[in-house]
Amino acid sequence: MQKLWGGRFSKATDHEVDDFNASISFDSRLYREDITGSIAHAKMLGRQGIISREDAEKITAGLEGILADIEAGKVEFSEEYEDIHMNVEALLTERIGEAGKRLHTARSRNDQVALDMRMYVKKEIREIRSMILEMLTALSESAKQNLHTVMPGYTHLQRAQPVTFAHYMMAYAQMLRRDVLRLEDTYARMDEMPLGSGALATSTYPIDRDYVRAELGFARITENSIDGVSDRDYCVELASDLSILMMHLSRLSEEIVLWSSSEFKFVELDDAFSTGSSIMPQKKNPDVCELIRGKTGRVYGSLTALLTMLKGLPLAYNKDMQEDKEAVFNAVDTVKMCLKCLIPMFRTMKVLPENMKRAAEHGFINATDCADYLTKKGVPFRDAHRISGELVAECVQKGKALSELSLAEYKAHSEVFDEDIYQAIDLHTCVEGRCVPGGPAPAEVERQIASMDHFIQEHSISGEEE
């Protein structure tokens, strides 16, 4: 079979090289972007009189037919044609003859692939963003149901101060909110149409880049043709945004792994989202969380692969850049797969407030409040801290919680203590007292939730407009 670019060659390509060179096995997923881009290009060529209107129409109809056939599973791509771009073009010429050979006028595969990838990345950003918004909704709903669910907050994984499960979930919501914003930033920056850059130096035809831009719904056209075919920053940015997102999902997953252990027992995963052991009948494993944690490495891998692939490339296009695809696809697929399982797993996860409360009661997490109690009665904080620490030591020795010490035991450490100490170190008082903006007090967390709901709503609407 003669290659589309075979004119200057006297020999067929070595078979190993054909295999090595071909990208159709993975870039076939760009068929829709490729065809949509080609239709816009053909229409523009027709309007500008670069090809005849009849040819433009034949090409458009031919491409639409190919698109329909691909979607119906009727097309088999061939490795001989290397990539999706040449497969579609060869198929078109096979179907409509002469006119098909005019499609590639004033275009190169270099700007074609740059266009396809940008269209693909834009689509995936929109999809992933709406999945994150769904996860945000799930977090916000869980928070609303757990405004009063007291649990220990940790530092160094040691019980530290009382918070609520709602407060905790809204912390994760903040991370995912930033992920949405990061993806939107990336999107806004990359929303540029590269077609017309040609191989690297545009062309001598009177093409109308702005028409193609408008047809394909891009905000701007790329400003420089050399950059237009060489820029893969948006792939790096996407992989970086997705790496940060995965880091967040992995941290949440790690918490759920811990919380679903018998040692914590703060949550229970639904049977549909857990797995068993082949040998230990009692096991109920949080595999989904573990896989999310584990798959995070793949997405980091994509980011590293892209940065490394690009760092030594002279301008403009180099074949190395074909490697951008699997890296981007891998990151996108992994993130979507993780979110698809995480969202329903999280929604069906049972929160066990009683166990959280028990852990909160036995961790001296109200020791700071005990010190604050003394401080509010005039004791300097440093002294109050020491007294409170001595009380904790006594509790540890006696196997008691702070709330279980008698007033006499308190008074032995400081005369300032009175009956109202019990109210002051009650866990609900401790949580409610932290009503500073950002704090765990139910009223304050309600405010955080309302602001998050507003964010979710606004960003879901702007998503529908695109």
- Phi first, then psi, for residue 111 (nearest 5°) are -80, -25
Burial label, 246 (beta-carbon count in 10 A; 0-12, 13-18, 19+): buried
**CB-nearer residue toward ligand ARG: 55 or 111:** 111
Q: Any idea which residue has 């852990």 for tokens?
A: 359
Question: Can you tell me which of 4, 23, 42, 197 binds ligand ARG, judged by CB under 6 A?
Answer: 23
**CB-nearer residue toward ligand ARG: 5 or 381:** 5
- The active-site residue out of 156, 262, 278, 406 is 156
Cβ 38 to ligand ARG shortest distance, Å: 14
- Is 278 assigned a catalytic role? no
Cβ 27 to ligand ARG shortest distance, Å: 6
For residue 40, the cross-strand partners are none
The answer to the question of residue 109 lying near ligand ARG (CB under 6 A) is yes
The answer to the question of residue 113 lying near ligand ARG (CB under 6 A) is yes
Q: Which stretch binds ligand ARG (CB under 6 A): 106-114, 242-250, 333-341, 376-384?
A: 106-114
The answer to the question of residue 321 lying near ligand ARG (CB under 6 A) is yes
CA dihedral 75, 80, 85, 90 (to 10 degrees): -70
Running DSSP on this structure, what letter comes out for residue 82?
-
The answer to the question of residue 87 lying near ligand ARG (CB under 6 A) is no
Dist. CA 151–CA 108, nearest whole Å: 60
**CB-nearer residue toward ligand ARG: 55 or 324:** 324
Q: Which stretch binds ligand ARG (CB under 6 A): 73-81, 313-321, 350-358, 444-452?
A: 313-321
- Is 277 assigned a catalytic role? yes
Dist. CA 139–CA 121, nearest whole Å: 27
- Count of chain residues binding ligand ARG (CB under 6 A): 11
Cβ 340 to ligand ARG shortest distance, Å: 27
For residue 267, the cross-strand partners are 351
The answer to the question of residue 111 lying near ligand ARG (CB under 6 A) is no
Determine contact, residues 10/165, Cβ cutoff 8 Å.
Answer: no
Dist. CA 247–CA 202, nearest whole Å: 41
Question: Can you tell me which of 81, 259, 317, 410 binds ligand ARG, judged by CB under 6 A?
Answer: 317
Burial label, 453 (beta-carbon count in 10 A; 0-12, 13-18, 19+): middle
**CB-nearer residue toward ligand ARG: 227 or 254:** 227
Q: HSE, CB side, 13 Å, CA atoms: give it for residue 450.
A: 7
**CB-nearer residue toward ligand ARG: 117 or 379:** 117
Helix (H, G, I), strand (E, B) or coil at 70: helix
Q: Any idea which residue has 């700071």 for tokens?
A: 368
Where do contacts with ligand ARG occur on this chain (CB under 6 A)?
A: 23, 27, 83, 109-110, 113, 317, 319, 321-322, 325
Residues noted as catalytic:
156, 277
